[in-house]
Amino acid sequence: MTSPPRITVIGAGVFGLASAFALARRGARVTVIEERQVGAGSSGGHVGALAPHAPENWNDKKALQLASLLAARDFWADVAHVSGRDPGYARLGRLQPVPDAATADRLAARIEAARLRWPADCGMSLTDRPESALVPDSPSGLWLRDGLTARLSPRAACAALAGALDALGARIIEGHRADPDLIEGPALWACGTPGLLRLNEDLGRKVGQGVKGQSALLDFAAPHSPQVFADGLHIVPHADGTTAIGSTSENSYDHDRPDDQVLALIQRAHAICPALNEAPVIETWAGLRPRAQSRAPVLAPWPGRPGHLIANGGFKIGFGMAPLIADLAARALLDGQTDLPRLFALP
């Protein structure tokens, strides 16, 4: 009888953990090595907005993201079942204020594109009476809503994945740095911003960089409400009675800690949703989110290292793309599938 394949996953953020889960679910003997702790990087934030790209001007990136968003419900339900832990997933939709009548007229094309591209129960529509405990101010008295957007608690999701891996017999080794030259056999490198910087050095070109993001967690309960997107800000009510707001995108920064920009973020959220004005701030967060030069996730072989695969560059859509990346990574490492989407190639 053939023994189960041994796979090493380096990095315990959402790409690494989700891929390790997909591998273990298919019978692989998986070891996850994490330099710090589970969810220590950008996967340890607050927001967890699984929001789609606009449905018009359709392209491969939007199609792949849609496939992953639609796979998310079953993926996270399986994680919850195996681990006995709630990752905080719910597809409750999203509200966006419409600034004026002219914008409302233009949104007809977007609504039609959603009808054509998305499942019937996930579409877009305009409403003048949003039913929610958290409604953003709208100058026009209209809101665009969709049924595709979902939420996830990033930390709870990482904890649930870690619990599921434990239940499946996988190992997670925290506080240990992995050296590419010392790893034998198939390996998946999902190391976030440090991984992109290592690739820049190893390949002698810029593959990607870290972009600082900041967010805040408020004590405001609206667990059954759709999330809000306005003025570039995500406002996401979670199942545990908190509401997350975020995030900034800072290409230049002196440190990776919260600073005054997160205070401005909170003030913007107050202006968008006055119901949040009296909500206490539980915590602020900052971290470096990995962005590839292509602005798409990377899932590709590591040049010059046979059997080594890279999963990185989730940036703002990492949790949304995790179910698809995990499935493709498992197929590549276990079945030798080489026809990975060209969109995910190394920049």
Q: What is the pLDDT along the chain (347 residues), one digit of tens a residue?
A: 578 999 999 999 999 999 999 999 999 999 999 999 999 999 999 999 999 999 999 999 999 999 999 999 999 999 999 999 999 999 999 999 999 999 999 999 999 999 999 999 999 999 999 999 999 999 999 999 999 999 999 999 999 999 999 999 999 999 999 988 888 889 999 999 999 999 999 999 999 999 999 999 999 999 999 999 999 999 999 999 999 999 999 999 999 999 999 999 999 999 999 999 999 999 999 999 999 999 999 999 999 999 999 999 999 999 999 999 999 999 999 999 889 999 999 99
Q: Are strands 124-127 and 143-146 parallel, antiparallel or unpaired?
A: antiparallel
Q: In the sheet where 308-312 sits, what is the strand order?
A: 171-174, 29-34, 6-10, 187-189, 308-312, 298-301
Q: Measured between alpha carbons, how far is 131 from 56 in angstroms, rounded to an integer? A: 26
User: Can you say whether the dihedral through the CA atoms of 263, 98, 154, 54 is positive or negative?
Assistant: negative
Q: Measured between alpha carbons, how far is 7 from 142 in angstroms, rounded to an integer? A: 51
User: Which of 179, 181, 253, 175 is CA-nearest to residue 214?
Assistant: 253
Instruction: Name the amino acid, one letter, at 262.
Output: V
Q: Are strands 298-301 and 49-50 parallel, antiparallel or unpaired?
A: unpaired
- DSSP conformation class of 4: P
User: Which of 145, 34, 129, 42 is CA-nearest to residue 96?
Assistant: 145
Q: Nearest 5°: CA angle at 162, between 161 and 168? A: 90
Query: Are 126 and 143 spatial neighbours (Cβ–Cβ below 8 Å)?
Result: yes
Whether this model's pTM surpasses 0.75 = yes
Query: Are 311 and 190 spatial neighbours (Cβ–Cβ below 8 Å)?
Result: yes
CA 294 to chain centre: 17
